[in-house]
């Protein structure tokens, strides 16, 4: 009977994702499950920085300006004179992760923008076909 050797920690999917500075699927799914109503920009930044990744609110805003992320939705807060706060869908964390992955693969911002625009066109075509 052959004995299976366990994978060194550096070869597990989680470790590989970490080494590349990315979140892995299990982490992304957990984040989406925990915050189904969305996250604030501060929460998104905190998710990355708590895991040791360099990410700032300025970077998040730049990604939005470049069209890589959707704009936040203003949501009123309960209570008198509490105002509103911007909420991003939980999927934004997955998108930030994807952008970081593409940048690690030496793609330029322009390449990434074109890639996302292509996907948007394909999604729009599928939605139109489903509506017909």
What is the distance between the alpha carbons of residues 132 and 113, in angstroms, rounded to a whole number? 29
Instruction: Tell me the whole-structure pTM to 2 decimals.
Output: 0.68
- Predicted local confidence at residue 121, as pLDDT: 66
Residue 9: pLDDT band with limits 50, 70, 90: very low
Q: What is the pLDDT of residue 52?
A: 86
88 touches 44 (CB < 8 A): yes
Q: What mean pLDDT comes out for the span 58-80?
A: 83
pLDDT of the residue at 84: 61
pLDDT digits 0-9 by tens, 32-65: 999 998 999 999 999 999 888 889 999 999 999 9
65's enclosing H/E stretch is helix 57-65
* Confidence bin at 116 (pLDDT 50/70/90): confident
Q: Is 54 left (phi over 0), alpha (psi -120 to 50) or beta?
A: beta
């Amino acid at each position: 009977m052959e004995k299976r050797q366990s994978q060194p920690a550096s070869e597990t999917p989680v470790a590989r994702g970490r080494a590349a500075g990315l979140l892995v699927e299990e982490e992304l799914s957990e984040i989406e499950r925990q915050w189904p109503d969305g996250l604030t920009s501060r929460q998104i930044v905190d998710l990355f920085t708590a895991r040791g990744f360099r990410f700032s609110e300025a970077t998040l805003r730049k990604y939005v300006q470049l069209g890589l992320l959707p704009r936040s939705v203003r949501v009123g807060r309960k209570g008198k004179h509490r105002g509103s706060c911007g909420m991003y869908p939980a999927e934004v964390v997955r998108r930030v992760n994807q952008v970081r992955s593409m940048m690690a693969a030496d793609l330029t911002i322009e390449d990434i923008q074109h890639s996302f625009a292509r996907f948007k066109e394909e999604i729009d075509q599928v939605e139109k076909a489903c509506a017909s």
